[in-house]
């Protein structure tokens, strides 16, 4: 009789050990947590235009031009990356009466980008590869606020800039 009691108790302990070990193994090694990113973009989402702007220095542009503001917030449960880029619009995409001959070339334009109040970049718009303005990673609950200015470069005074336009939209895609 004692043998049976020890056998039953030993069996229960062994089964308990196997169950606890299986649960611990699953918890530490096999469980996959699904993390989602959900980027929310706050901006006017409108077409921006540079029209009849005179060439200006960087200092004057940064001081006098109102920035285009974009706020990106991650409302998801996981970290994620995004790409912010500039989409150039041709004259047929904008109803302002201009034609393709009246469009400014990117080589005539300069830009400034600030991220959360810190200058991220300033330079020639034509030097931005694939029009990518920034690529960032954003943790859950965090947000980034961008201010973007684009202006006719001071050195463009010698080129044909008068009565020309540049139309664009700022786009954000998760990557």
Angle (CA) 86-173-105 rounded to 5° is 10
Segments forming the whole domain that contains residue 18: 1-32
Instruction: Using the predicted structure, report yes or no on whether residue 120 has a pLDDT greater than 50.
Output: yes
Pairwise CA distance, residues 104 & 111, whole Å: 14
137-158 pLDDT, tens digit per residue, is 999 999 999 999 999 888 876 6
- The full DSSP string for 72-121 is EEE-SSS-EEEEEEEEEE-GGGS-SS--GGGBPPGGGEEEEEEETTEEEE
- On whether both 18 and 49 belong to a single domain, the answer is no
| Two tokens, residue 124 | 């020639």
CATH number at residue 66: 2.60.120
DSSP letter at 127? G
Nearest C-alpha neighbor of 76 from the set 150, 149, 141, 11: 141
Integer CA distances (angstroms), 160 to 94, 105, 125, 152, 155, in order? 21, 10, 17, 11, 11
Calculate the average pLDDT of the chain. Answer: 81
- On whether both 17 and 70 belong to a single domain, the answer is no
Looking at the 3D structure of the chain, how many domains does it have?
2
Q: What is the mean pLDDT of residues 12-39?
A: 68
Pairwise CA distance, residues 132 & 94, whole Å: 22
At 101, give phi and psi (nearest 5°): -75, -15
- On whether both 84 and 120 belong to a single domain, the answer is yes
């Amino acid at each position: 009789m004692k043998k049976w009691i020890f056998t039953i108790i030993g069996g229960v302990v062994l089964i308990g050990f196997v169950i606890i070990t299986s649960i611990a193994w699953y918890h530490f090694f096999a469980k996959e947590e699904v993390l989602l990113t959900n980027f929310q973009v706050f901006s006017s989402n409108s077409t921006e235009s540079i029209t009849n702007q005179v060439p200006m220095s960087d200092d004057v542009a940064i001081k006098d031009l109102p920035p285009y503001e974009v706020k990106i917030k991650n409302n998801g449960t996981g970290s994620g990356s995004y790409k912010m880029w500039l989409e150039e619009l041709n004259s047929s995409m904008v109803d302002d009466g201009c034609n393709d001959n009246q469009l400014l070339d990117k080589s005539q334009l300069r830009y400034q980008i600030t991220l959360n109040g810190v200058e991220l970049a300033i330079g020639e718009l034509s030097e931005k590869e694939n029009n990518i303005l920034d690529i960032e990673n954003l943790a859950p609950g965090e947000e980034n606020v961008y201010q973007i200015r684009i202006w006719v470069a001071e050195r463009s005074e010698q080129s044909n800039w008068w009565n020309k336009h540049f139309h664009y939209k700022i786009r954000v895609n998760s990557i």
